[in-house]
Structure 1
């Protein structure tokens, strides 16, 4: 049976505020828990007005406090910006407050433009080259690797509890898949970032997986954008906001937030822009419940996974709620809860 989970980036629609978007994220978490979704993850982005926050660990605490059963996590924490020890402390505290419900998704991407990276890493050596060592450090602090010599041996990531968050490595290429396999960690491929090569990366991950001291086997999922509406035509109309937002992003243009479909200048797109829209459609599934269910099942079969995480980016929050409701009905998620 296919599990569905949620990635919410807290997009700020045109005419709304970041606070309103944050409150909608919390409302969406409460709704998707009732509908039977398995996880609710929040992303990290910096120096942007189009997305509502930069600190998933803070929002995790707010969402977990408003829900009861759904797993809550980061998709993800951009580890090269931070001390692995501090991240371990933050997420061990979350695990202590909400035991058995916290996921720590880790990424190596900057989550913003170079100026934000420089500000986040000011005064110390940063960079993705440190990332594999940082992940190993985290596992050491969580006690999920064999105990041995460590440059901070005996250091405790408080609070001292018997459990640890579930750690996932996130990636849009084979590099993170390889690292996850080497360290015995779960892996999520971000097809919503890279529409190609994901199935091969997940296959290689499984083939090279080496269990860590937890003894768990390989666990992989795929994350993709999805817009579901009552009809294919309505879903396409809603998706025009997505198409335009990502065109602007690729062109380095700032927007005043996600536009409503009626404001998208579809008639003025150049042939190259239309080509880019079609290319970006590899990152999203759009349509009626029947159409989206078929495509997600096909995607799950391609990846050989039993879990897909969907992110829905539309202007209207009611349409966003409806999208998740229709998916839950199509996959009968209530029977899995």
Structure 2
């Protein structure tokens, strides 16, 4: 199977650099991936995070698109519950028009932050916590495709005259949005890196069935997004992965601190009770880790298992160099 390789970048705040550099490092990595032949580069949205430094994906998308040549650039994704569908359609329509249609508009239901940030983003109104997500997603698609029903109160609104459409995607991690994505005609990206235990191929089956029943034309795109860290040796790859794995474990333990170095993670691991060591090992098992050959072998297995031809990798490391190195090594198989 020929696999298209893409990137989902959470803009990690690397311990190897000043925190203020995190957005710039995302741009640096995007430019590298453009030269290496990656298919798309998506940026995520997080609010009030000490680990991830991108609360406004539309700004990074616009900047990256202006500094790259071939790679598709998009949001993975815009957390739609915080925003007006019309404004999102206008923003991404403008970016697609200015960048020869290389823009993807991926949306998600999650808040991308705490309840407090949701309140602040909704001020002076009250957050709806995703309760209106289906209606928002439907309206957004109607604005982008200029096909809101004639009886819709906003049907006469023209987003941009003769604009190029961004490619519409919906994100999910455990199947809750699969049926909605298929029904509304969105492409689907399944975030296995968030919840590998509940991320099953049947989610894509549900999506495809809803797509067919809705009568959409053509074949939709399906992407599987995984956590992947690659190095010259399996031992080094596992060592580099410790930073991201321990962050997930720490969140479960109610801890919030900056990324730890790989050696600090090893020290913490030895001090953990056996039950937490087992949970750490379980989280690590959900990652794709190893040499380029090992990573590609697992990615090919996942692509076959899930019936998709595009894999996006999420790579979070303490060192920016290690993250760049991981993407360079993976690209050797492109």
Question: One fold, TM greater than 0.5?
Answer: yes
Q: How many angstroms apart in 1 are the aligned matches of 2:182 and 2:170?
A: 10
TM-score (norm 2): 0.94
- The corresponding residue for 1:194 is 195
Alignment counterpart, residue 312 of structure 1, candidates 315, 318, 325:
315
Residue matched to 1:116: 117
For residue 49 of structure 2, what is the aligned residue in structure 1?
A: 48
The answer to whether 1:142 aligns with 2:126 is no
Q: CA deviation at 1:17?
A: 3.0
**Structure 1 equivalent of residue 302 of structure 2:** 299
- Deviation of 1:18 after TM superposition, in Å, equals 3.4
Match of 1:165 in 2: 166
The equivalent of 2:277 in structure 1 is 274
How much does 1:235 deviate? Answer: 0.5
Contact 1:144 1:214 (8 Å CA) reproduced: no
Q: Matched residue of 1:174: which SS?
A: coil
Offset of 1:52 from its aligned partner? Answer: 1.2
- The number of equivalent residue pairs is 329
Q: If the length of structure 1 is used for normalisation, what is the TM-score?
A: 0.93
- 1:135 deviates by 0.9
Whether the aligned pair in 1 keeps the contact of 2:149 and 2:155 (CA below 8 Å) is no
Q: Distance in 2 between matches of 1:11 and 1:191?
A: 18
> Structure 2 vs 1, CA of residues 282 and 76 (structure 1 numbering), >3 Å: closer, same or farther?
farther
Give the Å deviation of 1:212.
7.4
**CA distance, structure 2, for counterparts of residue 307 and residue 70 of structure 1:** 14
Deviation at 1:200, TM superposition (A): 1.2
Q: Secondary structure at the match of 1:25?
A: helix
Please give the per-residue CA displacement for 1:21-60, whole angstroms capped at 9, x wherever unaligned: 1111111001011111000000000111211120000111
Pairing 1:19–2:24 present: no
* Equivalent residue runs for 1:222-241 within 5 Å: 222-241=224-243
Unaligned runs of 5+ in 1: none
Q: Judging changes above 3 Å, is the alpha-carbon distance between structure 1 residues 297 and 250 closer, same or farther for their aligned structure 2 residues?
A: same
The CA RMSD over aligned residues, in Å, is 1.7
| C-alpha contact 2:234 2:291 (8 A) present in aligned 1 | yes
CA distance in 2, matches of 1:14, 1:325: 20
Query: Could you tell me how far apart the structure 1 residues matched to 2:297 and 2:204 are?
Result: 21
